[in-house]
Amino acid sequence: MDNLSHSDRRKNMQNIRSTNTLMELSVRSALHKKGLRFRKYSKYLVGKPDIVFSKPKVVVFLDSCFWHKCRYHFIEPKSNRKYWIPKLNRNKERAKEVNKLLRNDGWIVLRFWEHQVKNDLDVVISKIYKEVKKRK
């Protein structure tokens, strides 16, 4: 059973950001400091990648441990499971489909978990930087 009222739950869900999350802001800031320039959320690419390097054809997705079911940090919702479990499973499947479609179109797809960004930002930035420079 949900411990919040309908209006409180609605307000809570409306405050969950889908763009410009702290994770995305920290990665973009670090990439910018390294001299890399990019686009955000390209609506012309399947999956609307978080970061797009057009000419080297490299896209970056920053996946939340909850929304993409990280095997280390995901905690299943205790309420409304009939809604959440299929939704979260579909997110995971969609990510695989998006990866395949982009790779078939010649893109390099880099995906990083929320915990990787939090714990090893320098490693994440280094991997992105190397891939972009390798393809230029």
Beta bridge partners of 86: none
Question: Does the domain at residues 18-135 carry the CATH identifier 3.40.50.2300?
Answer: no
Band of residue 4 on the pLDDT scale cut at 50, 70, 90: low
pLDDT in tens, 70-93: 999 999 998 889 999 999 999 999
Q: What is the mean pLDDT of the chain?
A: 91
Domain boundaries, the chain: 18-135
8 Å CB contact between 45 and 53: no
Among 63, 50, 61, 40, CA closest to 114:
63
Give the global pTM: 0.86
pLDDT at 38 (0 to 100): 97
Question: What tokens does 48 get?
Answer: 């609307």
Among 21, 9, 53, CA closest to 34:
53
